[in-house]
Amino acid sequence: MRHARRRIVRRTARLAAVGGLLVGATMVTRAVAGEPSDVSAAPHTSVRTTAGTGAGLVSRLGTSRTAGHWVGSDGRPVVAVTDERTAERVRRAGAEAKVVRHSMSALKSAARALRSAPRVPGTAWALDYRSNEVVVRGDSTVSGSDWSRLTGVARDIGEFVRMERTDGTFTTRLNGAEPILSTAGRCSAGFNVTDGRSDFVLTAGHCGPTGSVWFGDDGGDRQVGRTVAGSFPGDDFSLVEYADGKAGDGADVVAVGDGKGVRITGVGEPAVGQRVFRSGSTTGLRDGRVTALDATVNYPEGTVTGLIETDVCAEPGDSGGPMFAEGIALGVTSGGSGDCDKGGTTFFQPLPEAMESLGVRLIVSPREGAGPGAAPSSPAATGGGGTAPGAAAPGAVAPVPDVNGSTLLSRLTDRRNVGPGMLVVAGSLIALVATRWIRAEQDRKAYRRHYSTTWG
């Protein structure tokens, strides 16, 4: 009876080990098959796919039948359309449709009319796709007579121009995340870029004119570089060439503080409703949502157009710092109103437009999609952005990892990698060898007992 039980136990163990081998092999096969064939391609995230769907529909259907797109609260793409027939086309494409009165052509025409009116410092406007309106805001510096005059312009345009007063003032946000300093002021470094010959920091244009020399410490002992190009007002971007021509190790990493960092894997354009992150030396890492696009801000220094409007807070000292989402670089901090105690509005210079104008490309991770990255070896490695952000998704912030941007344990336990399958295979092999050894040892002992009884 005892021998029968032992045989049952051994057979069960062998079957379990063989089953483990089969399961582990299947896991490895699926993980290998699921890896992207082109590791240099930008990662495809759910938000980017959603935004791409909406942008594609708007592009195909045209500005006379659509009025923008955004990411809905459920994560689905929403497209504003002007008639039910177009709405049906949107729904068949897998997106949600919202029928509105005014097309994108009408919204942009209203924005042009506002831009042609006499300039009023302290005002801003943007296209609000979700409300199908052009929202005009005036800060506390705008006089009653100027506001009344601008209200008259809005009334002549149409009822879809909404006027709002806001607290605080619209100012550029000088200073920054892990600061760079010059005689022009103190700013945040944004993203590292290159033209193929030299490396640069791309930051805000209002930080300083061409020729400004930037340092990485208060004592002025470590020169970062010199501003060689830029645009402000009109746009708000500038290019700081590194003193030695190279960004250094970790140029693709944006630090987020506490020894953590995010690898930047590509550049893109945001969608209304998308969650984004930004960082600066004054307020550190902050997050919020994109509320509008194609915003115009009348700063005291001049007017800047084509900005990204967000509800991310910022304060003086955060200018030039990077904005990103899910490892994708989106823009650099321009200015805004409010603060991080009460909240406010912050505007960002879109990155694709700035890079195209400057003739540079983003320095990105050599293994895109690797996820969170190691903190840079020095502030200069990220263009000076020591507390600057990088990517977006909440999971983009992680412990300082290995060179591939993730801890060994997390990679071994990630079901998308071969690690879990290999662990199952190894455990099954050990169990199989162990059962074979136990059986051999039992047979050997049984033989010895038999031999002793026979020849004893």
CA distance 210 to 204: 12
- pLDDT bin (cut points 50, 70, 90) of residue 33 is very low
Longest dimension (CA), the chain: 120
Catalytic residue among 102, 139, 206, 428: 206
What pLDDT, in 10s, does the model give residues 327-342? 899 999 999 998 899 8
CA distance 31 to 25: 10
pLDDT value at position 183? 67
Cβ-based burial of 313 (10 A; exposed 0-12, middle 13-18, buried ≥19): buried
pLDDT value at position 87? 95
CB 50 within 8 Å of CB 380: no
- The pTM of this model reads 0.69
**Phi, psi values for residue 294, rounded to 5°:** 55, 45
Could you tell me the two tokens for 224? 């970062």
CB 171 within 8 Å of CB 192: no
Most confident option among 125-129, 240-244, 251-255: 125-129
- pLDDT bin (cut points 50, 70, 90) of residue 394 is very low
CA distance 414 to 119: 55
Say which residue, 37 or 61, is predicted with more confidence. Answer: 61
**Phi, psi values for residue 422, rounded to 5°:** -65, -35
User: Is residue 57 over pLDDT 90?
Assistant: yes
pLDDT value at position 173? 53
CB 236 within 8 Å of CB 222: no
**Among candidate residues 372, 278, 256, 382, the one with its CA nearest the CA of residue 324:** 278
Please name the helix (run of DSSP H) or strand (run of DSSP E) that holds residue 61, with its range, or none.
helix 46-61
Q: Which of 106-110, 193-197, 276-280 has the lowest mean pLDDT?
A: 276-280
pLDDT value at position 24? 64
What pLDDT, in 10s, does the model give residues 289-326? 999 999 999 999 899 999 999 999 988 778 888 899 98
Could you tell me the two tokens for 370? 């690797």
Beta strands in 72-132 (DSSP E): 77-81, 96-99, 123-128
- What's the whole-number mean pLDDT along residues 120-142? 95
User: Is residue 15 over pLDDT 80?
Assistant: no
Most confident option among 8-12, 27-31, 175-179: 8-12
pLDDT value at position 66? 96
Per the annotation, the verdict on 206 as an active-site residue is: yes
CA distance 237 to 333: 9
- Cα-to-chain-centroid distance, residue 456: 81
Per the annotation, the verdict on 294 as an active-site residue is: no
CB 158 within 8 Å of CB 320: no
The dihedral sign for the CA sequence 51, 323, 396, 311: negative
Say which residue, 128 or 185, is predicted with more confidence. Answer: 128
What pLDDT, in 10s, does the model give residues 249-261? 778 877 666 666 7
The dihedral sign for the CA sequence 206, 208, 214, 215: negative
Catalytic residue among 103, 319, 365, 428: 319
User: Is residue 400 over pLDDT 70?
Assistant: no
Could you tell me the two tokens for 17? 């080990």
Say which residue, 7 or 346, is predicted with more confidence. Answer: 346
- What's the whole-number mean pLDDT along residues 421-428? 67
What pLDDT, in 10s, does the model give residues 174-214? 433 345 677 667 777 889 999 999 999 999 999 888 988 88
Catalytic residue among 128, 139, 235, 236: 236
- What's the whole-number mean pLDDT along residues 373-398? 33
Instruction: Calculate ∠ Cα 440-441-442, nearest 5°.
Output: 90
**Phi, psi values for residue 274, rounded to 5°:** -75, 140
pLDDT value at position 249? 78
Sheet holding 199-203, edge to edge: 185-187, 180-182, 213-215, 223-231, 237-242, 199-203, 191-194, 361-362
Residue 355 makes CB contacts below 8 A (sequence gap 6+) with 193, 202, 267, 361, 362
Residue 169 makes CB contacts below 8 A (sequence gap 6+) with 122, 139, 140, 141, 337
pLDDT value at position 47? 58
User: Is residue 376 over pLDDT 50?
Assistant: no
Helix orientation angle between 46-61 and 84-92, rounded to the nearest 10 degrees? 140
pLDDT value at position 442? 61
Most confident option among 23-27, 272-276, 421-425: 272-276
Indicate the residue type of 257. Answer: G
**Among candidate residues 268, 332, 272, the one with its CA nearest the CA of residue 44:** 268
DSSP state, residue 320: T
Helix orientation angle between 144-157 and 104-116, rounded to the nearest 10 degrees? 140
Per the annotation, the verdict on 319 as an active-site residue is: yes
CB 356 within 8 Å of CB 421: no
Say which residue, 418 or 333, is predicted with more confidence. Answer: 333
CB 323 within 8 Å of CB 190: no
